[in-house]
Chains A and B, each alone.
Chain A
């Protein structure tokens, strides 16, 4: 469970460029729930996700995972719980490294990276089998550099990489924004499938209202750094796509 207590975040305090990105967000996300986060640009969605990931430290307030206060824990330490998929497909993978090496690193997200050769034959098989589940034919290319793949392919692999090691929280920041409609649909289906299979606590930011309507069991809308709407599973199911569009009217 993720708990956010009265999170405030002010960027550039005291300067002419001062911005209040989060203005007292209090939120509890149950383990295994799939939260969709919507809101206009600048409403604080990404900052909220970054506060959970540890990429941004809040000005005040507390971040608690399963009862443990992680507010001051750096991003690379919080990765013990959190896996991320970024908006930019290039951010979640290392282009010059082979697909296999990318997966190896992902498999070590929660453990130290030691001086032993971990890419064994059994690991190769594991990676090949996992990638085959995507049905994109990428399992034959695991020795190729990640950079030779398209954005959609890389994003799909980033998703798979997020469950190579034990994960409890999956953060998806507009993972399909840079993709064509077909790749985007595949990414969303895969994310939904993985979230269910591994019982991940998932938070998805999206500007695609159809996705926001289709996926997840809780819908939160943010505006000017605050949570302005919060729909539980039942209310979300009852919500019509047209109603959702009206929120942005």
Chain B
């Protein structure tokens, strides 16, 4: 039982990453690999500041800012230098590895005897954190700015004709997406009790898998209002972590976890295509 509760909390923490991927992937249709780096960056900033006993009121804005800057970097490389978004993300992610390592000064920082939002009621803390993020994001997406943002990913010719600076919008969008991802790093670092330089490897796939699960559900139940889609993204993250937890519980070697994650995402992406072929 404890095992599944822990998967649930991890799913909630990683829901922040899923929300970030939802923005970059579903709203802007940009596959943003910066995620692996900005997630670690969030965790690194958290560890560095918490071990220096900074209060959360400093740590949280710093995490948001760091992730936002990483997203801006990718956005600027993509829009100003006209470099493919995927490549821009990989460039920034690679650069962030060194940034993270020099910020930490070593490859792992344990978070013991420091402030931790999961100290007493971890499940409630995770729920509250994600609820606040979701409410904020749902508000932003319903504002005039949010409509412009959603339209940018949908029809650039339209938004340009309606006075939207598409390039600027993409930079802001990637900044928001990576700020959310960094917050995911902030949560997971505290939950697992340490920050590790390699903790971001493959996290983009975890986020993507969660968003793909939620996408199936959103299509299935025809969920149209954007504020209703966000909770489904969180549900996607929970399902994803529970499936992984189940795989481990039946005795699969933890070293194979990344392979299983990749295969699971492949199954979600590939299944509808295979089914269509069979039908045809």
CB–CB A76/B224 < 8 A: no
- What CA separation (Å) do A215 and B221 show in the bound complex? 46
* Number of chain A residues whose Cβ lies closer than 8 Å to a Cβ of chain B: 40
- What CA separation (Å) do A145 and B139 show in the bound complex? 20
- B56 interface hit (Cβ, 8 Å): no
Pick the contact of A114 from B142, B143, B158, B163 — CB < 8 Å?
Answer: B143
Taking A91-B158, A92-B157 as contacts, is the C-beta distance between A105 and B151 under 8 angstroms?
A: yes
Pick the contact of A115 from B143, B159, B163, B166 — CB < 8 Å?
Answer: B143
- A236 interface hit (Cβ, 8 Å): no
Which residues 135-149 of B sit at the A interface, judged by CB distance below 8 A? Answer: 139-140, 142-145, 147-148
Interface centre among A86, A95, A101 (most CB of B within 10 A): A101
CB–CB A75/B160 < 8 A: yes
- What CA separation (Å) do A118 and B145 show in the bound complex? 10
Which residues 66-90 of A sit at the B interface, judged by CB distance below 8 A? Answer: 74-77, 79-80, 82-84, 86, 90
Report the minimal beta-carbon distance from B87 to chain A, rounded to whole angstroms: 25
CB–CB B163/A109 < 8 A: yes
- A200 interface hit (Cβ, 8 Å): no
Residue numbers in A under 8 Å from B162 (CB-CB): 76, 79, 105-106, 108-109
CB–CB A83/B161 < 8 A: yes
Report the minimal beta-carbon distance from B158 to chain A, rounded to whole angstroms: 6
Residue numbers in A under 8 Å from B49 (CB-CB): none
CB–CB A76/B145 < 8 A: no
Residue numbers in A under 8 Å from B163 (CB-CB): 76-77, 79-80, 108-111
User: SS class of chain A's interface: helix, strand, loop or mixed?
Assistant: loop
- B60 interface hit (Cβ, 8 Å): no
Taking A75-B160, A116-B144, A143-B224 as contacts, is the C-beta distance between A95 and B150 under 8 angstroms?
A: no
- B164 interface hit (Cβ, 8 Å): yes
Residue numbers in B under 8 Å from A90 (CB-CB): 155
Residue numbers in A under 8 Å from B144 (CB-CB): 104-105, 108, 113-118
Report the minimal beta-carbon distance from A16 to chain B, rounded to whole angstroms: 23
- What CA separation (Å) do A109 and B163 show in the bound complex? 5
Which residues 208-262 of B sit at the A interface, judged by CB distance below 8 A? Answer: 224
Taking A75-B160, A108-B163, A115-B140 as contacts, is the C-beta distance between A96 and B145 under 8 angstroms?
A: no
- Looking at chain B, what size class is its interface with the partner chain? 20 to 34
- B198 interface hit (Cβ, 8 Å): no
CB–CB A105/B159 < 8 A: yes
Residue numbers in B under 8 Å from A91 (CB-CB): 155, 157-158
CB–CB A95/B155 < 8 A: yes
- A93 interface hit (Cβ, 8 Å): yes
Residue numbers in B under 8 Å from A104 (CB-CB): 144, 147
Residue numbers in B under 8 Å from A110 (CB-CB): 163
Taking A83-B161, A110-B163, A143-B224 as contacts, is the C-beta distance between A94 and B143 under 8 angstroms?
A: no
- What CA separation (Å) do A83 and B165 show in the bound complex? 16
CB–CB B165/A105 < 8 A: no
- A185 interface hit (Cβ, 8 Å): no
Residue numbers in A under 8 Å from B164 (CB-CB): 76, 105, 113
Pick the contact of B147 from A75, A77, A95, A105 — CB < 8 Å?
Answer: A105
- B84 interface hit (Cβ, 8 Å): no
- What CA separation (Å) do A102 and B148 show in the bound complex? 9
CB–CB A117/B142 < 8 A: yes
Residue numbers in A under 8 Å from B139 (CB-CB): 117
- What CA separation (Å) do A104 and B160 show in the bound complex? 15
Residue numbers in B under 8 Å from A115 (CB-CB): 140, 143-145
Report the minimal beta-carbon distance from A210 to chain B, rounded to whole angstroms: 28
Pick the contact of B157 from A86, A105, A114 — CB < 8 Å?
Answer: A86
Report the minimal beta-carbon distance from A82 to chain B, rounded to whole angstroms: 8
CB–CB B161/A94 < 8 A: no
- What CA separation (Å) do A104 and B166 show in the bound complex? 17
- What CA separation (Å) do A191 and B169 show in the bound complex? 31
Of the A-B pairs whose beta carbons lie under 8 Å apart in the complex, a sample of 30, sorted by A's number, is: A74-B165, A76-B159, A76-B161, A90-B155, A94-B150, A94-B158, A94-B159, A95-B154, A95-B155, A96-B150, A97-B147, A97-B151, A101-B147, A101-B150, A104-B144, A104-B147, A105-B148, A105-B159, A106-B162, A108-B148, A109-B163, A111-B163, A114-B144, A115-B145, A116-B144, A117-B142, A117-B143, A117-B144, A119-B147, A144-B224
Interface contacts beyond A76-B160, A94-B158: sample of 5 additional A-B pairs, CB < 8 Å, sorted by A: A75-B161, A76-B161, A101-B147, A105-B159, A113-B144
- Would you list the 3 A-B pairs with minimal beta carbon distance, nearest first? A94-B154, A79-B163, A113-B148
